[in-house]
Structure 1
């Protein structure tokens, strides 16, 4: 039986445009990614097809050799991340093995034993767990914002990075497609957590999935959901979720208390979770460690995040 062509795998005609190929890849990647219950072998086929067809030179070479015996040529890797978030993903993935633990030594994909990874991100950069710092934006810097962002960095550094050697924290990203920012992005394996923050007084707040309520007062959290949706579109190889952490003035990780309105499921498939610091640590550890290959540093995804940092 003749194996399916790259066009067949993505479900596009041989004269498909670059936009059609990219859209088809995103649909196929979501459907086949192991983190979403897909088949790892099929996911690799989808990835290879996109790697070849997205590159004009590799596509011409594939079209000329189409139908010939032997494996199809692979696409050459980009030498560096270009514009923020725009470079198409080029990666190798694998299903989770019994020995894959979040606290195991970090494994780089692709390996730095080859020139492929080094041409994307230098090893000295990829091995760093923290990238960027909370930065002043615009003419005036908001001291309270910088303070709570620094508190979030300290929390993630002490509670997450120390127990997950593969985790990479990128601070101060431009929000794609918007005139805004993503405060923190935490990458581990094939999962990406976006984290924003608030500073509120101690007490009990009720979260209904949209707003916070306390003593008749309504508090609007940061609008993180659009950034989560956009980043999921730009990183179809990853599972992207968002968290807004509420810090208390005195640094108590268990304050304020976030209660949930009737009918709201905090463990449901919500784009953004609103939590205090203690719950943030607990949920992030569960989210990142339960993904496929949690001890993996996915170098192409890290490169694209670094390209999107606020300078």
Structure 2
């Protein structure tokens, strides 16, 4: 990545989770080095100043972080489309060596996680860079909590989202140690929210939840039908498309989990019927047991499921949370 296309965090050499104090300290250090009076470059000093003025202001930083998460967070002094981007494993890399191929049938989903890029203290010191997020944060499997949105029905939303968090934390994360669950995200496509995002290697599952009475429901790709009544699940297809555009190196899918009032993981029953015209194959509507089964298969069958994609995780945490 060229210096002109570096993000403001890279310009100041701070993590995306840096505090106001850390940004001020980093700015003073970078400004002294880049100032023309001290033998620095005027253009570099302007980049340092622009980075500081943006990141030190809470509102400007929030707006910048949204663009950073969308891969458009360059320093503004070059091609505006040349923001940060992150590629799938390069040939010959540690990650590439672990990619599942027909000749190597062993699945690595249950293996000890490794980080891409790695937390290499010597490399950071040699280049003067800092990791995008601290290792202590990258090593956590669960990030954030369901957020109260609006006034009416907030308690019901929180309760069903907590059910989903507990379900994934107890039955999916132990099987895939590298999986990272991020709760309460803002949608990059509109003013809605993504209840949960589950990242493992180069696969990302977006999960929303509903609470419906027990019974048998028919899912046709657009609506749930039960006893002559049609129910539209949360609209996820356009959010999945937006996230796929933001993270082209990932395989992104959407899931709606239907919880039953009594907590039975196998209720309600969701039958897949003939798909309606225009329905999306990227969205799955399942009960709790189906979510566990589906997520395990989706994440573990991807390339290097034991990799923690730090670059993507940082963008999710900083730009959308």
Does the TM-score normalized on the shorter chain lie above 0.5?
yes
Aligned-partner Cα distance in 2 for 1:280–1:207: 15
Q: Unaligned stretches of 5+ in structure 1?
A: 1-50, 59-74
Contact 2:15/2:134 (<8 A) preserved: no
What is the 5 A alignment of 1:87-106?
Answer: 87=71, 88-91=84-87, 93=89, 94-95=95-96, 96-97=99-100, 98=104, 101-106=108-113
Alignment correspondent of 2:65: 83
Alignment correspondent of 1:306: 317
What is the 5 A alignment of 1:124-273?
Answer: 124-138=136-150, 142-262=154-274, 270-273=281-284
- Whether 1:281 and 2:289 are equivalent positions in the alignment is no
> RMSD of the alignment, in Å?
2.6
Contact 2:237/2:280 (<8 A) preserved: no
Post-superposition CA distance 1:150-196 (Å, at most 9, x none): 00000000011111110000000000031110000000000000000
1:146–1:112 Cα change, 3 Å: same
Contact 1:91/1:109 (<8 A) preserved: no
Q: Unaligned stretches of 5+ in structure 2?
A: 17-63, 72-83, 90-94
Contact 1:204/1:257 (<8 A) preserved: yes
Contact 1:106/1:165 (<8 A) preserved: yes
Of 44, 56, 62, 2:4 maps to 56
Aligned-partner Cα distance in 2 for 1:56–1:309: 24
Post-superposition CA distance 1:219-266 (Å, at most 9, x none): 1100011110000000111110000000000010100000121357xx
What displacement does 1:308 show?
3.3
